[in-house]
Structure 1
Amino acid sequence: MFNQFETSRRAWMKHALAGLGGLAVTEWLNAPATAGSPLEPRAPHHTPRARRVIFLFMHGGPSQVDTFDYKPMLQKKDGEQLPFEQPPNLDAKPVLMKSPWKFARHGESGLWVSELFPHVARHIDDLCVIRSMHSKGTSHGQAVSMLHTGSDNLVRPSVGAWVSYGLGTENDNLPSFVSVAPSSGHGGPRNYGAAFLPAIHQATTIGRQGKLGDPRIDHLGNESLSVEEQRAQLELLQEMNRDHLQRAGRDARIQGAIESYELAFRMQRSAPDVLDLSHESDAVQKLYGIGEKKTDNFGRQCLLARRLVEAGVRFVELSTGNVWDQHGSLKSGHERNSLAVDRPIAGLLTDLKARGMLDDTLVVWGGEFGRTPIVQGSNGRDHNPQGFCVWLAGGGVKGGIAYGETDEFGYYATQNRVHMHDLHATILHQLGLDHERLTYRYAGRDFRLTDVYGEVVHDVLA
């Protein structure tokens, strides 16, 4: 029975190959994106300062008062009662807890950085530290969704999907949006999904749960068929899909499958080479901390991000997994986490700068929220979306500045407050996209990443 099937399959394949009309597969692979393709490069709304984004997602919420927002008064008043009202429904005693780490000024700018980030501190003159972030949602699910999609409770396209939709791809053989080691919790696929945008704009994922492992895209290769046979098989499958689409009418799922199959076939040519970190010299790998147990995982993520954006990927997100959530054991937890990412991130900034890529690559660092300056339990901090830090580097932002302030204890954003919608608007602006014009009509309404909010933070732009 199997032999009969195999004979029939090979006969069909021979017929299908003959039906390609002499089209060379290599010519097809090298052909530019067809007009009207959803990933066709699009003109930005205005002259961009950045061509691509690398988002370093510190999942769980690093503490701003222990990293980049030095608060002398918090150190002085350790153990005393918080002198103002804390947000309701917060599971923390209103008792101040000082940072267990020393802070020092760094660079010509003299910005404060704690001893948790000694390697990143050497790049402080390239960083724009926004100290006045605030967001919506005290739970991880809400805040992570807000960070990624601009909504704390509705299914909306992710930032990377909006960028892909707005600008298209720079490389026909690679996706425009890649999510490295995403978590399955706190929204999971919704955090890198396309929602109602065309499905082709959702992220291609590599690794999971904060772990990269062997950088590969699952099910990309096919060792059973030659490239020519795969192309013939795809032609038949796509013809069936297009017939189905014509009968069904408009169907985003069918259209998404058609586009994804085409991209996947193209990716077989380029992706394996881009994902192969062994092409990098020992010196470059050492720069990222690859080969050392504590920094190897995130070092590989950072090096992969550089290779992806260098190859034309528009938006790359890296994730630590939900490790920054120190409701207890703040000191040991934050020290472990910072040790894992500090050197790799510094290596990324060094490498981008050495290659002349930092000027047009926007690097964004941050979590879904910060943490309270008051103690939770005996030695932890609770969630705090009222005031926290993110930092930006490259991509046309001012380096060596701190923007905005929290109160004297680091609880609430008080000066030059920056909402998550404002951060999204600013990221899009640097890519040449007007957040008010980047819209998609769905269910009778024009949707956008920033909903009906958001202001570009021009004061942080060079």
Structure 2
Amino acid sequence: MFFTRREALQRMGTGLGVLGLAGLCGDRESIAANPLTLKQPHFRPRAKHIIHLYMNGGPSQVDTFDPKPALTTHAGQRPASTAELKTENGTGGLRPSPFKFPKRGQSGLEISELYAETGRFADDLCVIRSMYTDIPNHEPSMFMMNSGHVQAIRPSYGSWLLYGLGTENESLPGYVVLSPGLPVNGAANWSNRFLPGVYQGCHLNLPVDFRPQQVLPHLENGQLSATSQRRQLDFIQQMNAQHRTTREKEDPLDARIASFELAFRMQAAAPEAFAWRTEPESVQRLYHGTDGKMNGFGASCLLARRLVERGVRVVQIYSGAGQPWDTHGNNDGQHKQLAAASDRSIAGLLADLKQRGLLEETLVLWGGEFGRTPASQGNDGRDHNHWGFSVWLAGGGVRGGLAYGATDEFGFKAVEKRVHPHDLHATMLHLMGLDHERLTYRYGGRDFRLTDVSGTVIQEILA
């Protein structure tokens, strides 16, 4: 049982409106145990927020952050050491990368010329070159990277973080997903699953010239003033609170009550938070593309900075709709185009976060669901590769200027200090002050956690 606006109005008309509306405004916080309330971490956190730059489709590690000179030496060959590594579509001989990998920063970290601007922050980046995952298909691998399981049955890591830590701003969603259209798997990538619904990611499709009212339905009430809405909501929440007294612990009910409050508060908070055009021109230019104009990815990066600055816990930014990094053909040309559309914006985000002192408390993650083969698919493509790929982290308590782990000499398979998504998630939770083995939720008669029954914190990358 849950009271909606219509049911509340009906009861108000029968006389229940005399049930103490006066004084409710001063006691709203006691109506329900708000599941978004800021919670104590397990230990002192290194980071408070996460910005995830998701290159959906799978960027090629040997063209971006894992240089392999041996590919040139053995071009066109398929050495015996790689014969057992099966891929989704089958591949040909080894294919060298046409891109140079200059050493950047004081650390000398080798980064592809595709990410020349991002490379200026080499001493802030921790590149994990030894990632691997379970299945070489987009759908299960995206579920694994987002929720720690290859099937759509577990909550996303953003939902787990909201559940474990709450949010610093109860007037905005604690978990925001910025994506032009829906990627593979759609909303299942940021689902709350069996966690209360208030922890689900809030997806926004934001064109560059958007107004918040265009993308957030019902952000404005054309019939009632804010005062009238507040009185109406107070009455609804009082009845829900009466109903709640008969239920000692009902997380879904608390979540729905909290969602009413969040929706009301967003009317005032969201238009200001998403108004990136109010930023000084000098700040906006940081996020412009190579053509000197703001594109969708750049605007999302600027919005991510504005959101974490206002206490939002997790922001995910998807690079393009569909699977833009799925380069089965024209790998080199597509990587040039995709990197050009994101490189300056990523560098701008890192620069902006550093300038404001936010990078120290914000963990930035770059990567896709897997990588691509160092061997060719067709004449000019690269196939899916789940055996070894790269992601990088910056800020939030991570050691910069570091290349962690390694793939084999061709970049096919992780062979040194291998890192599974469970290990990555365990480390992310650790940096946020949470023990991945203690962050559990009881459902269906057992305790679940993001990392299932495995996962190890990567201690060597911690600052």
TM-score by length of 2: 0.90
Cα separation, 2, equivalents of 1:373 and 1:213: 40
Correspondence list, 1:133-212, <5 A: 133-181=131-179, 184-207=182-205
- 1:213 is displaced (CA, Å) by 4.5
SS in 2 for 1:103: coil
> Cα gap change, 1:274/1:456 in structure 2, threshold over 3 Å: closer, same or farther?
same
Query: Displacement, 1:315?
Result: 0.8
Q: Which amino acid aligns with 2:57?
A: G
Task: Show the 5 A alignment for 1:339-358.
Answer: 339-358=340-359
Residue-by-residue CA offset, 1:113-132 (whole Å, 9 max, x unaligned): 11110100000110000000
Deviations 1:344-379 (A, max 9, x none): 000000000000111111101110000000111110
Aligned mates of 2:392, 2:223 — CA distance in 1: 47
* 1:367 aligned residue: 368
SS at structure 1 position matched to 2:457:
coil
The 3-state SS of whatever aligns with 1:123 is: helix
The worse-fitting range, judged by mean Cα deviation, of 198-207 and 417-426 is: 198-207
CA spacing shift, 1:48–1:89, aligned 2, 3 Å:
closer
TM-fit CA distance, 1:247: 8.7
Q: Deviations along 1:286-340, whole A, 9 cap, x unmatched?
A: 0111795775211100000000000001111111132100000112211111011
* Aligned equivalent of 2:61: 64
Please give the per-residue CA displacement for 1:391-442, whole angstroms capped at 9, x wherever unaligned. 0000011000100000000000000001100000000000000000000000
Instruction: Tell me the equivalent position of 1:105.
Output: 103
Residue 302 of structure 1 corresponds to 301
Q: Does 2:259 align with 1:266?
A: no
- Determine the C-alpha separation between the residues in 2 that align with 1:72 and 1:34: 63
Q: Tell which deviates more after alignment, 89-98 or 61-70.
A: 89-98
**Post-superposition offset of 1:142:** 0.5
Shift of 1:264: 0.7
Worse-matched range after superposition: 334-343 or 32-41: 32-41
Match of 2:78 in 1: 81
1:169 and 1:238 mapped to 2: Cα distance? 21
What percentage of aligned pairs have identical amino acids? 47
Q: Which residue of 2 aligns with 1:47?
A: 44
In 1, Cα distance between equivalents of 2:360 and 2:209: 27
> Would you say 1:121 and 2:119 are equivalent positions?
yes
The amino acid that maps onto 2:408 is D
User: Per the alignment, do residues 279 and 400 of structure 1 end up closer, same or farther by CA in structure 2, a change over 3 Å counting?
Assistant: same
CA offset at residue 89 of structure 1? Answer: 5.3
Moved more, 213-222 or 187-196: 213-222
1:55-98 CA-partner distances (Å, limit 9, x unpaired)? 11111110000000000001222222243214335313331111
Structure 1 distance, partners of 2:337, 2:255, is: 41
Task: After TM superposition, give the deviation of residue 231 of structure 1 in Å.
Answer: 2.2
The answer (yes or no) to whether the contact 2:32–2:254 under 8 Å persists in 1 is no
CA gap 1:355/1:89 in 2 versus in 1, 3 angstroms: closer
The answer to which of 166-175 and 419-428 deviates more is: 166-175
Alignment-derived partner of residue 6 in structure 1: none
Q: Which runs of 5+ in 2 are unaligned?
A: 1-8
Partner secondary structure for residue 327 of structure 1 = coil
Residues 96 and 34 (structure 1 numbering): CA distance in 2 closer, same or farther, change over 3 Å? farther
What is the match of residue 379 of structure 1? 380
Q: How far 1:187 sits from its partner (Å)?
A: 2.0
Partners of 1:67 and 1:114 within 8 A in 2: yes
Whether the 8 Å contact between 2:365 and 2:392 is mirrored in structure 1 is yes
Q: Which residue of 1 aligns with 2:426?
A: 425
* Structure 1 residue matching 2:111: 3-state secondary structure: strand
Is residue 2:413 matched to residue 1:435? no
Counterpart position of 2:313: 314
For residues 383 and 214 of structure 1, do their structure 2 counterparts lie closer, same or farther at Cα, with a shift above 3 Å needed?
farther
Would the alpha carbon gap of residues 224 and 20 (structure 1) be closer, same or farther in structure 2, given more than 3 Å must change? Answer: farther
1:206-240 per-position Cα deviation (integer Å, ceiling 9, x unaligned): 217x9895454332221221112222333454456
Contact 1:45 1:432 in 2 (8 A): yes
Between 283-292 and 147-156, report the one with greater CA deviation: 283-292
Q: CA deviation at 1:252?
A: 6.2
Paired AA for residue 455 in structure 1 = T
Distance 1:303 1:185, change over 3 A: closer
Aligned to 2:5: none
Q: 1:421, 1:255 → 2: CA distance?
A: 30
Gap runs ≥5 in structure 1:
1-8
Task: Report 1:391-410 matches (<5 A).
Answer: 391-410=392-411
Q: Which secondary structure does the structure 2 equivalent of 1:122 belong to? A: helix
Amino acid at match of 2:442: R
Root-mean-square deviation (CA, aligned residues, Å) is 2.8
- Aligned to 2:403, the other structure's residue is in SS state strand
1:289 paired residue number: 288
CA distance in structure 2 between the partners assigned to 1:154 and 1:212 by the alignment: 33
Distance 1:261 1:60 in 2: 36
Partner of 2:4: none
2: distance between equivalents of 1:90 and 1:21? 62
Q: Distance in 2 between matches of 1:55 and 1:33?
A: 34
Q: Find the aligned partners of 1:153 and 1:211 in 2 and give their Cα distance.
A: 33
Q: Give the number of equivalent residue pairs.
A: 449
- Distance in 2, matches of 1:60 and 1:67, equals 14
